[in-house]
Amino acid sequence: MEFGILSLLPPVLAILLALITRSVIPALFAGVWIGATMVHDWNPLLGMYASFSEFILPNLGDEWSATVLLYCGLFGVLVAFLQKTGGAQAIAQSISKRVKTDRGAQGSTMLFGVIIFFEDYFNALTVGSVMRSVTDKMRVSREKLAYIVDSTSAPLCLLAPVSTWVVFVMGLIGAQFVELGISGSEYVTYLATIPFNFYSILALLLVAIVIFKRWDFGPMAKAEYRARTTGKVLRDGAEPPSDDSMHEFETIPGNPKKRNFLVPIIVLLGMIPPMFLWTGGFPENDLVTAVGEADGGLSILIAAFAAIVVALLMGLQQKLFNFKESMQLVVNGFKSMMLVYIILTLAWSIGSVTQALGTADFIVGLAEQSVSPAIIPILLFIVAGVVAYTTGTSYGTFAIMVPIAMPLAHAMDEMSMFLAIAAVLSGGIFGDHCSPISDTTILSSAGSASDHIDHVNTQTPFAITAGISGLVSFFIAGVTGSALLSLAIGIVVLIVLTYLLQRKWGQKIPDNYSIT
């Protein structure tokens, strides 16, 4: 059947419902159901039956989906063990002993955020809660602490070679490879998007600039002036989250060891290259061929499992928990990823629905007639940003937008698939950073014990600054296809904008304040 413009109904309905309800799960399911209903002559009962029998269950049951869901769960388990053994806390304590200035406290917070690159929730809660005493001592405002934590969590998870976000996006890319008949490694494809993920790169760079040049502006400048001159790290009347909400992330008693964090992470990262070569048929295949044909999902799954075994054995050897408690940690780790399981399954399903309706073919035909390929990355970035801002979830945004962006790029020879995916990823992070209902934004406020609205109000001008710079980069990339040139121009725009905003909207902090 030819559905024409009606083939847009499932993804558009999913986007609109996500915007209205601010909940992505029912929005995605509604998109699957309406698409299945259309396939079955607009019969809603048959549509409900087909939603499960033809779309959800087949997507849930194949080997690739099972692999993705399993390694998502294993990452949840790894995070649970790293939290329980206190390795991250030990690293933070080691860093804090060397801090002597407010700039050092902020730079150390950023460094600690970079170290915990593999899971955004764990990053936001751990970095904020552990570094809070250090930044308070150096009179750094809680708003600034929350900004540093928030802007080094999600962006890093998309720029690192392995993280919970990487495995989620790989799942979306792999599903589209199947739908589009593309052969290749979804992991290598993901790695190729990193140089084009301009917002994430620029947001991290902006954090470094603001810290080391002290180029604060807007509400953040006022918050920093207040903290540094009066010692009030929170404004009068601020309402930080209750410490009761942090009970799952309280500090570990005793003397936690840095090796409890470093050794499992080294195992995780160290296992991936040999597993890639092995699953890619090396040495029968040459190095390049082996990497291209590697099973990225299975490689990361085995690496994560090995890291968990190491973390478990280290915890048992140090008597941090007994074997029964370790098994409960495993269960809790899988439970923590339940939302990811549901969103991924529905994302795969709505991708299959749009394939059955010919949505991608219609969008491609429309775009080829009316939109220049150079503009498409900008449009993808903006739409993804709007969806993420209004829903508060980057995962949900990726689930909705990647099945639209990849077929569009696949059909347009002039457009890079890597650039299209990166535009969606960047837009999702940008909207997430501006949204008051974003989960990572809320957790950053909680971990830093900052008033949540104060955090949103002080962070948004910085996010918009990086977002404008990112838009320029995406436009240049759409015209030239060069990631390096586009990023270089974006960096220049970012530095100039930040400097001008600081000069116009900043507030000079006196050099003679004292810290007692």
Q: Strand, coil or helix: what is 283?
A: coil
> C-alpha angle 187/188/194, rounded to 5°?
95
Distances, alpha carbon 206 to alpha carbons 61, 149, 218, 396, 497, in Å: 43, 13, 15, 26, 11
| Phi and psi torsions of 435, nearest 5° | -85, 130
Residue 166, Cα to own-chain centre: how many angstroms? 8
Q: Look at residue 1 in the predicted model and tell me its pLDDT.
A: 65
Give the count of beta carbons closer than 10 Å to the beta carbon of residue 1: 11
* CA 284/CA 289 separation, integer angstroms: 10
Contact 428, 123 (CB under 8 A): no
DSSP class per residue in 21-81: HS-HHHHHHHHHHHHHHHHTTT-HHHHHHHIIIIIIHHHHHSHHHHHHHHHHHHHHHHHHH
Rounded (10°) CA dihedral 338, 341, 344, 348: -140
Closest by Cα among 154, 105, 162 to 130: 105
8 Å CB contact between 73 and 334: yes
H-type alpha helices, 318-393 = 323-335, 338-357, 359-370, 376-391
Contacts of 393 (CB under 8 A, 6+ apart): 24, 343, 432, 438, 439
Rg (CA), the chain: 23
3-state DSSP assignment of residue 87: helix
The token pair that represents 424 in the structure block? 């969606």
List the chain residues with pLDDT less than 50: 243-249
Q: What confidence score (pLDDT) does residue 249 get?
A: 47
Name the residue type at position 163: S
Beta-carbon contacts of 488 under 8 Å, excluding residues fewer than 6 positions away, are: none
The closest of 230, 248, 233, 223 to 133, measured between CA atoms, is 233
Predicted local distance difference test score (pLDDT) of residue 426: 97
Residue whose pair of structure tokens reads 């950023």 in the numeric block? 110
Inter-residue contact 444 to 455 (CB < 8 Å): yes
| Tokens linked to 313 | 């054995």
CA distance 434 to 425: 15
Per-residue confidence (pLDDT) for residue 110, from 0 to 100: 93
Report the candidate in 395, 424, 396, 431 with the shortest Cα–Cα distance to residue 409. 424
Q: Which of 124, 129, 99, 101 shows the shortest CA–CA distance to 113?
A: 124
Q: Tell me the two tokens of residue 440.
A: 């990572």
pTM score: 0.79
Tokens (6 digits) for 158? 């998309």
